[in-house]
Amino acid sequence: MSLRHAALGLLADRGAASGYDLLKLFEGSLVHIWPATQSQLYTELGKLAADGLIEIVAEGARGRKVYEITESGRKELRHWMIEVDPAPDRRDPTMLRVFLLGTVDPAERREFLRSCAESLRRRVDELHELETRINWDEDDLSRYGHLVMEYGKEFMRMRGRWFERAADTV
């Protein structure tokens, strides 16, 4: 996924929004799967506008710009959503460390694996807590955001179990 498509998707779903509005949407919805800094988002909005995928529909005080997705932007978003193979990212820094565990003491190997499992348990707990704070509506971002959250919790539980078994094996 790219920041470009995340911004296009939020504009397609929510309609016109300022950079600040989009940043708040990122912080409230995508932060756990695709975080973006303010500078990254504003840079991407400039590129999207230059490419004709969004347009500025209003300008306000202090240079505030309100953006809206264009028809070209909707076509690009649909192309990425439907036609581009969503191949998973193969880079996993934690698995690289597991691969190289033979370079540290056996006790450190087990401790690393157990700490990974514990970290994942904490992250699942944090997601459970976050889930209770979110005002889940009937809109698409809530519906599909909740599905993504469920996937994240299940994935972390599975990965945590794997780390426990690996620690027992080492």
Task: State pLDDT tens for residues 62-83.
Answer: 889 999 999 999 999 999 999 9
Closest CA to 14 of 148, 141, 134, 143: 141
Q: What is the mean pLDDT of residues 96-115?
A: 95
State the Cα–Cα distance between residues 140 and 110, nearest whole angstrom.
Answer: 43
Q: Which residues contact 12 (CB under 8 A, 6 or more apart)?
A: 69, 73, 74, 77
* pLDDT score for 32: 79
Q: Which residues contact 148 (CB under 8 A, 6 or more apart)?
A: 33
Predicted TM-score of the model (pTM): 0.77
More confident residue, 63 or 48: 48
Q: Which residues contact 21 (CB under 8 A, 6 or more apart)?
A: 14
Best-predicted range by mean pLDDT (30-39, 128-137, 147-156): 147-156
Please say if the pLDDT value at position 52 is more than 70.
yes
For 149, other C-beta atoms within 10 Å of its C-beta total: 19
* pLDDT score for 9: 93
Continuous H helices in the chain: 3-14, 19-25, 38-50, 71-78, 93-99, 106-133, 140-169
Tokens of 52: 């004709």
Q: How many degrees, rounded to 5, is the angle at CA 161 between CA 156 and CA 162?
A: 95
Closest CA to 44 of 84, 81, 2: 2
* pLDDT score for 140: 87
Mean of all residue pLDDT scores within the chain: 92
